[in-house]
Structure 1
């Protein structure tokens, strides 16, 4: 049997409004695990949907050897479906039970075929993703959102398609579920293409396919190795740009010097003609020769200058647009030791109770971690004043701002500048624009309506509005900030938070991101309690603890 493969030849696609995504894309994916990376809007999810048959290309072709299975970015399941229906084994299971009960209808035997161990295989697939406890007769409505993603993955593992496509599979998964998905990816032996911003997941792959400017560049190895190779490549590209800029300056200088020399010769020739030191026929011949020489000289220098410009353009093209947010936020500073937040016997509407008291002091950076459904979002919304507590008290001693997962702090009808101005009503328009420029919304970009922004741009606009608000927030609450952000946007968020000098509370399942922003304190929501923990313990807990257990 031939090995599975996926080949895209001269693939083109554009949206109904005429916006192009690909134009003549060629790519081939063989057996092994491939991480497909690229900026938001580069076409990663679109490519997967074309391969899965959900979208039709405007040109070119997709050739797949074997069956394709896809786990989409947003998993939506009918809550009334039973687990065996999601797994696609309900009919075989019903027929099997009928045969076991003594019914010998031919239809039942046809339904079962040779799949007599279907239930055992299904339970094994559920166990592989950590869902062995839910059984086959439960309904989707009885499992969490993260478990429904794993349930769809279990259905794919049970089918064992030849080509498996995963689109941001760890979005909204807690640490435990992420570990299970990572293990399933590590064990995959067919063709696998995964789009993700989860750096830990991308370190499970065999190669990286970098989709940039409508073309794919291949890097052998994991995402960490890809980043190292890309950094070396970009450093070399930047050196080439500097060399090309120096060459361009030299060619401009030499052209100017040549023009000065030619001007001197013309003046000398004119002076000689005026003084009539040589016969007229000799001066005419000298003048014609000088004009030919000058024209040739000028052409040589202009050609060299044009070549230098072309080399500079090529060098600049090789350097990626990797702008970073660089902003100084002195007014967000909190003195060390100053109490910024106090929680007293707090009982939110859902989740953990904080028994006694909990204080945040100075510019602490706190990670709030725990399983999906543990109550992290509820706790943040209670601290922010959006939800009243059932009991206890929240005391914020400094100005605070909350950035929710939904990013609904922005008004879609307004521009980026108008949204930012809402949070700083005393600031002049020029001041607002100057601040937004530091968050990469320069010039006309600040006049774009929020409704038309990409996911990463929308997040950056919301972050800018909150961090530039007046009064300056000295306590910032972030709920799953890296969900749906590409690598460049996560890097921009990290650099922005490096400039933030206030206290920070972040709810996230993204451990590499949390470690990159300098977390100083880890709080775990588990079993209705809030307790201090360590990142090393989180990894073990996520991998070993069965769902529903307590610490």
Structure 2
């Protein structure tokens, strides 16, 4: 499978780019950025405008000012892939017309229109099959409908359609969302084989280790770092260390300038008292003393101005130094009512037969503040199991009984009402709590002041996740069993760290379904469960080995 784009050089140039949301919130104001050949990892905190920038480059949004110039055809894989379930695979790949004409010619129909439709693409079926196989979709026939595919397979199918076109510019927005480790490995290989211009937005560290440079989007500006994510972290750590040193130097200089100003003021006060004493004693002619007084006032004014300017300069340098130091706030979820005593029965599953084929044989019991990692291939039934435990789906047979208050955060984050503010959404889950109490608790989730009153519809992916987590965690009664389905989807690196910190302070029982093994290992998981037809115990080493097998 060839992943090389057209031979003509491709590039992206953003000049004085400006964009604002319909509510007037500024996203970019004069952004300058350029992307040339190679794989660029575009990172930044949620809400910094990464997905918006890709949409502007792809032409899905129009800038308020400035220009976006793209040389070469653009292929764009959005963050949320939705396909018409009635479409056939060949239609998604964009080869249905060519394939139909090819089959007509092979059947003896030699009308000119069929040859025009085929053009030079006589090997279209072979290329399509090879592209699908390269992404681990070799088992999918070109005549199947997309309704038969899992969410992860739909993402890879859309990527296959882009690769078949061989665009000069490839834009990928969180492409590993909903992909199991096996599918991710296929995508990694496709990324590594790409030789054109690629801009990939991702929180997946394994993917970011495969890029050529990192573009860090922060406060409406792009900072470039050569190398992969590990090289970026090293460079950023060195920058932050230097920035913190500058803060210490600037603070020392500020203290020095304040001290010198105070000393100068003391000296000037002494001179003034001495001059007044000489004037009162009339030891010298009045005209001489008047001239000395005038000169002293001029000198005092110059000294005061000089020291005040030095002090102002020291304050300005300190402000600049402080701005260069990143201060990533952390979510705090130290909520006492979520605690579960050791040994307490939290959840019982008994001879459970789920929809779509998965099952739990015998009896499974969760006790105390256990932390369960739920893993498995796409389509294995992890989401179905969580929804059944949450009471959203009925089991075909068997029992799923929770013995403590539980909350379930689905992948879609559809627990929130887009028409309400963050505060109003939380109030839906805690109707007895006062507005002040809710706002105080929301501050723990980094929604402070006016941000707590922001409409959910305007939130970024990471902000929306925090709002949904806050709504569930602050619900009444407080959840003693928290279930999360692919929680790191759509979260940037900083948000993943915030989530990890938040879950570290959570004292209830936890079940997390995820394909992000690094993230799961960071949670202090006490038991690993694999769902593959049936539920069984496993280890992270087994998961890595099984998921990466051909």
Query: What TM-score, normalized by structure 2, do the two folds share?
Result: 0.91
Residue 414 of structure 1 deviates from its aligned partner by: 4.4
Matching residue of 2:61: 55
SS of aligned partner of 1:325: coil
Matching residue of 1:13: 18
Matching residue of 1:153: 159
Matching residue within 517, 531, 538 for 2:523: 517
Matching residue within 34, 39, 42 for 2:48: 42
Matching residue within 255, 261, 272 for 2:267: 261
Residue 33 of structure 1 deviates from its aligned partner by: 1.2
Matching residue of 2:3: none
Matching residue within 64, 68, 77 for 1:71: 77
Distance 1:74 1:419, change over 3 A: closer
SS of aligned partner of 1:544: coil
Query: What TM-score, normalized by structure 1, do the two folds share?
Result: 0.91
Distance 1:114 1:333, change over 3 A: same
Distance 2:391 2:142 in 1: 41
Is the contact between residue 369 and residue 525 of structure 1 (CA under 8 Å) also seen in structure 2? yes
Matching residue within 360, 363, 370 for 1:364: 370
Distance 2:85 2:430 in 1: 43
> Does 1:465 pair with 2:466?
no
SS of aligned partner of 2:225: strand
> Does 1:120 pair with 2:123?
no
Is the contact between residue 16 and residue 31 of structure 2 (CA under 8 Å) also seen in structure 1? yes
> Does 1:243 pair with 2:252?
no
Residue 428 of structure 1 deviates from its aligned partner by: 5.3
Residue 41 of structure 1 deviates from its aligned partner by: 2.6
Distance 1:54 1:395, change over 3 A: closer
Distance 1:351 1:308 in 2: 69
Distance 1:351 1:487, change over 3 A: farther
Q: Which shows bigger deviation, 182-191 or 370-379?
A: 370-379
SS of aligned partner of 2:548: helix
Matching residue of 1:549: none
Q: Which shows bigger deviation, 396-405 or 11-20?
A: 11-20
**1:142-164 per-position Cα deviation (integer Å, ceiling 9, x unaligned):** 22222122111111222222221
**1:446-486 per-position Cα deviation (integer Å, ceiling 9, x unaligned):** 33343443332222122223334444433211112111222
Q: Which shows bigger deviation, 247-256 or 130-139?
A: 247-256
Matching residue of 2:505: 499
Matching residue within 516, 524, 542 for 2:547: 542
Matches within 5 A, 1:133-144: 133-144=139-150
Distance 1:36 1:298 in 2: 49
Q: Which shows bigger deviation, 450-459 or 293-302?
A: 450-459
Matching residue within 525, 531, 537 for 2:536: 531
Matches within 5 A, 1:65-214: 65-214=71-220
**1:408-453 per-position Cα deviation (integer Å, ceiling 9, x unaligned):** 3344454434444554556555444333222222233233343443
Matching residue of 2:399: 393
Distance 1:365 1:16 in 2: 40
**1:87-121 per-position Cα deviation (integer Å, ceiling 9, x unaligned):** 22222222222222222323323332332222111
Is the contact between residue 475 and residue 503 of structure 1 (CA under 8 Å) also seen in structure 2? yes
Distance 1:91 1:454, change over 3 A: closer
**1:326-383 per-position Cα deviation (integer Å, ceiling 9, x unaligned):** 4533443334444322222223344522111112233221111223332222222222
Matches within 5 A, 1:339-358: 339-358=345-364
Distance 1:162 1:261 in 2: 71
Matches within 5 A, 1:479-498: 479-498=485-504
The count of aligned residue pairs is: 544
Is the contact between residue 481 and residue 508 of structure 1 (CA under 8 Å) also seen in structure 2? yes
Matching residue of 2:339: 333
Matches within 5 A, 1:266-277: 266-277=272-283
Distance 1:326 1:447 in 2: 20
SS of aligned partner of 1:36: strand
Is the contact between residue 351 and residue 378 of structure 1 (CA under 8 Å) also seen in structure 2? no
SS of aligned partner of 1:394: strand
Distance 1:361 1:112 in 2: 63
Matching residue within 9, 33, 39 for 1:4: 9
Distance 1:361 1:304, change over 3 A: same
**1:227-249 per-position Cα deviation (integer Å, ceiling 9, x unaligned):** 23212212321232232233223
Distance 1:516 1:228, change over 3 A: farther
Residue 263 of structure 1 deviates from its aligned partner by: 2.3
Is the contact between residue 20 and residue 64 of structure 2 (CA under 8 Å) also seen in structure 1? no
Is the contact between residue 334 and residue 507 of structure 2 (CA under 8 Å) also seen in structure 1? no
Distance 1:297 1:179, change over 3 A: same
List runs of 5+ in structure 2 lacking aligned partners: 1-5
Residue 67 of structure 1 deviates from its aligned partner by: 2.4
